[in-house]
Amino acid sequence: MGGFISGIAVTIILMQVPKLMGSPAGSGELLELSKHIGHALGQINVLSLAMGVGALILLILAKEIRAEIPDGHPDHDPGRAGHGILPCG
């Protein structure tokens, strides 16, 4: 089941790559998606690409920053009990 879900995830990502470059979304199987991405490479909209890549970077950074902020709930992670923002006990 994990391979099936991973395959779907890769297909969805490949369908969205042209949109990241400012072209319409791709469709079809891997070969058709590859051709569509190759065609989109010749028509890159720099502003769309910059905004899309910037948004992805922002999401990754937000995830990293969020991982460093304690949530203050000792029940959430027993290994960190007492290390949150709120006092325990």
Report pLDDT for 53.
Answer: 92
Please count the other Cβ atoms lying within 10 Å of the Cβ belonging to residue 20: 20
Report pLDDT for 87.
Answer: 55
Angle at 67 between CA 65 and CA 68, to 5 degrees: 70
Q: What is the pLDDT of residues 52-85, one digit of tens each?
A: 999 999 999 998 888 777 766 555 555 554 455 5
Residue 88 has pLDDT above 60, yes or no: no
pTM: 0.58
